[in-house]
Structure 1
Amino acid sequence: MTPKQNLRPNTNPTIFDWMSLVALFPIFLTKWSLAFFFANYQPLHWRQKCALTFLRTQRTTFPTPLLRWLVRRVSTGATIKAYCNKNNISHRAIILPVSSTELHPDILPPAVLHVLTLGKIEPETRPGTAPTLLYFHGGGFVNPLRSPHMPFILSCGNAAQAKQIIIVEYSLAPEHPYPAQLVQCVASVSFLLSESSGLAIPAGDIILAGDSAGGTLVGSIKQGQQFQAAVMISPFVRLHKDSMDAPGGSYQMNEKRDYLTRRQVDDFGEAWKGDEKEIWANLCGVEASEEVWKAVFQGKGGNKLVKKVLITVGTAEVFLDDCRLFSGEMYVNAQTVVAGHERNKDMEWLQNLGKGERILVECEGEAHVQPVLDTALGYRDGIMTRAVMAWLKTW
């Protein structure tokens, strides 16, 4: 067992915390520089190595409670608004009716939908109705959306030639433990489908997308209607301790390759309090889970959630084994595409992305939610980034 950390999300840092931050900063710079030059992250691009070593060094140098406070000091809504204002993107926020969650706002406040209007889509480039990209951000249900997410989300919308992007701002744990986030996201989807929303978007025009914990939410949305597509980027699909402790498993094999570690996964779990016996939190291994997910993704015994689904995972991720399990025959039954770092833009794996209804792309050497890191640094040639963008362009 790893030591528990006090997350203290709403407690301001003390003077001793700030002194610790200042004192540790030179150590951080030294460790980061050494890690960047000597860490073995082949075959990644230098910008990818820069991001990975930065995050690993940051998380192993500074106290977790202080990092958590720094991350949470700006809300999801404030981040989205600031980014849109800076980049001249049309944005409006819609607060869901309190009745949408059937809970009192003191228990669970309504979610907020952030609607970003994209440029005009030319009919000759997008036949039919342009889709809406509905995005659920990651962060372990504990952290808000951060500014590095925004370039990636915008790139996804542009690749799909979406007319708009809607980002769900949900409440965070530990103040609102799971499944509060799922309740809000399901309510958000129901609201968007309804006439009373003023949007009334048909399910067939919606692409569901999410990273990490947001990928969990994508898989858990079921409305009795079929959505156009789903993108699950490095989804958090399994809580079982068995997968974390398995000898030679990805949690052990990739402990020093991924910036997300077993200890951090434990910290997130302590905050959001997901139940290993609850299928909507623990997507794999729960009794009757095979039956549920075969119906959701394969259409066996019920309507499929989406027409097509893309799941991506890096071979350097601690979640690698879990994503393989969830994508396998017992659940999603996805076709596996193994993607390498060759620079040929017409490589075979890219050409195969649009050929199946359910695709798992395993990205050589890449880490957790790699496209968010890549696009934040202006790098567009990462495997996972190219896979997601190429797949979205098929719509």
Structure 2
Amino acid sequence: MSPARPPYDPELSAYLEASEFLSGLEFTLDGIPQLRESMSQSMPTLDDIVGPAGLEHIELTVPGPEGVPEVILSVIRRPGGSAAAPCVYYIHGGGMIIGDRSVGADSFPEWIERFGVTVVSVEYRLAPEHPHPAPVEDCYAGLVWVAEHAAELGVDRERVLVAGTSAGGGLAAAVALLCRDRGGPRLVGQLLICPMLDDRDRTVSTRQYEDVAVWNRAQNTFGWTALLGTAKGTDDVPAYAAPARATDLSGLPPAFIDTGSAEVFRDEDVDYASRIWAAGGQAELHVWAGGFHGFALFREATVSRGAVDAVHNWMGRVLNS
């Protein structure tokens, strides 16, 4: 018998039932090509999103981490750029196995309009073909390049915010740890939307959402195994792969962490915020009642609009502090 679990918000439940979100997709090694193709076909391209908004899209190929020739960055900004715009360095989601730098881009035009930012979205290598540390090192290398070339990008290197959703949220948290530990670029904040932080599969929320449609325990286990292989769940996993493993969360930039009460990541996200506070850091935590993984995509729901408003409120404060 499945354990008792918080129900979905009624509005969200209705939208989920009417959609085909993650339906009929096979989370196996053989199924990965279909997963990637399905996401590619169902998502608009970056140009589909930013073109109608009158924004400029510049694609750059920059040096990657050691041994890797290049990382691709998409720079999205107002035409002509700005002398010193704040920067949102964005890392897409996809369970470490799917997605590209266009995933999540529907938020970019609003961020640019509201805050005058330049958005840089990074293309990182995916597991299982490229296990840890490939994804996080790609993301970190791209961020270092942006900081070092801030002037030519029209970016204020003192106002760079790292952001990510789901797997991208976990990678954003790991990039913040790397910046601290390697003396890397200064970040004004880390925006972690329903972040994927812990490979150990030991929380109550993972057991509660073992068999749901939207990023369940089995899918999560598959994603972590693709990234970590046989190391998953062992003592050999470093914090830069799974940030929940970090024993020291001091000295990090302010964090915004949100999650739904009805998703696998709920408990690990709450714990991460709590340990940032315990280390004397700043974290703003939101647990949205009835929210499943990725619920904010359904903007028609009242709880989704509240979540988006909370993100915008926090971004405005950290980017203008």
Alignment of 1:43 onto 2:3: no
Quick check: 1:141 aligned with 2:93? Answer: no
Instruction: Check if 1:103 corresponds to 2:58.
Output: no
Gaps of 5+ in 1: 1-39, 123-127, 244-248, 298-305, 336-355
**Alignment match, 2:270:** 324
* Deviation of the 1:193 alpha carbon: 1.3
Which protein shows a greater Rg?
1
The within-5 A match list for 1:104-143 is 104-105=68-69, 110-118=70-78, 130-143=85-98
The residue identity in structure 1 corresponding to 2:58 is R
Deviation at 1:368, TM superposition (A): 1.4
Q: Does 1:309 align with 2:255?
A: yes
The residue that corresponds to 1:92 in the other structure is 58
Distance 1:334 1:154 in 2: 35
Measured in 2, the distance between the counterparts of 1:188 and 1:75 equals 27
1:199 and 2:123 correspond: no
The structure 2 residue matched to 1:270, chosen from 225, 232, 235, is 225
Other-structure match for 1:227: 187
Deviation of 1:374 after TM superposition, in Å, equals 2.4
Aligned residue identity for 1:393:
G
Q: Secondary structure at the match of 1:166?
A: strand
- SS of the residue 1:259 aligns to: coil
Out of 307, 315, 321, the residue aligned to residue 384 of structure 1 is 307
1:234–1:314 Cα contact (<8 Å) kept: yes
Structure 2 CA distance for partners of 1:380 and 1:79, relative to 1, 3 Å:
farther
* Aligned equivalent of 1:4: none
Structure-2 change in CA distance of 1:87 and 1:385 (3 Å): same
Aligned partners of 1:42 and 1:131: how far apart in 2? Answer: 36
Deviates most, 176-185 or 382-391: 382-391
- Aligned sequence identity (%): 22
Name the structure 2 match of 1:359. Answer: 284
- RMSD of aligned residue pairs (Cα, Å): 3.4
**Pair 176,53 (structure 1): closer, same or farther in 2 beyond 3 Å:** same
Correspondence for 1:368 among 293, 302, 305: 293
Q: Deviations over 1:263-308 (max 9, x none)?
A: 11122123222644222112224xxx222x223x2xxxxxxxx2x2
Inter-partner Cα distance in structure 1 for 2:273 and 2:202: 18
Between the aligned partners of 2:144 and 2:111, the Cα distance in structure 1 is: 23
Secondary structure of 1:167's counterpart equals: strand
1:87/1:195 Cα in 2 relative to 1: closer, same or farther (>3 Å)?
A: closer
Q: Deviations over 1:170-196 (max 9, x none)?
A: 122222222211111111111011149
- Structure 1 residue 238: deviation in Å? 0.5
TM-score (norm 1): 0.65
**Following TM superposition, by how much is the alpha carbon of 1:332 offset from its aligned partner in structure 2, in angstroms?**
4.9
Q: Which residue of 1 aligns with 2:117?
A: 163
Q: 1:333 to 1:233 in 2, by over 3 A?
A: farther
Q: How does 1:276-291 map to 2 (within 5 A)?
A: 276=232, 277-285=237-245, 289-291=246-248
Report deviation, 1:241: 3.2
**Using a 3 Å threshold, how does the CA distance of structure 1 residues 387 and 256 change in structure 2: closer, same or farther?**
farther
Could you tell me which of 104, 107, 115 is aligned with 1:152?
107
Is the 8 Å Cα contact of residues 85 and 117 (structure 2) preserved in structure 1? yes
What TM-score, normalized to structure 2? 0.79
How far, CA to CA, are the matches of 2:95 and 2:169 in structure 1? 10
Count of aligned positions: 298
Letter in 2 for 1:367: F
Equivalent position amino acid for 2:146 in 1: L
Deviations 1:13-72 (A, max 9, x none): xxxxxxxxxxxxxxxxxxxxxxxxxxx955343xx33443356x6545454427514335
With over 3 angstroms needed to count, the CA separation of the structure-2 counterparts of 1:153 and 1:334, relative to structure 1, is farther
Aligned equivalents of 2:85, 2:247: Cα separation in 1:
33
- SS of the equivalent of 2:46 reads helix
Are 2:141 and 1:187 equivalent residues in the alignment? yes
Q: 1:44 and 1:88, CA in 2 relative to 1: closer, same or farther beyond 3 A?
A: farther
Give how far 1:228 is off.
1.4
AA aligned to 2:57 is H
- 1:129/1:205 contact within 8 Å kept: no
Query: Which residue type is aligned with residue 13 of structure 2?
Result: K
Distance 1:84 1:216 in 2: 25
1:324 corresponds to which letter in structure 2?
V
Structure 1 residue 200: Cα displacement: 7.3
Question: Aligned partners of 1:201, 1:254: CA distance in 2, in Å?
Answer: 41
Aligned residue identity for 2:37? L
Q: Secondary structure at the match of 1:281?
A: coil
Aligned counterparts of 2:21 and 2:9: Cα–Cα separation in 1: 22
Counterpart Cα distance in 1 of 2:24 and 2:141:
39
Shift in CA distance, 95/129, structure 1 to aligned 2, threshold 3 Å: closer
Which of the pair has the greater relative contact order for Cα pairs under 8 Å at 6+ separation? Answer: 2
Structure 1 residues 112, 379: closer, same or farther in 2, change over 3 A?
A: farther
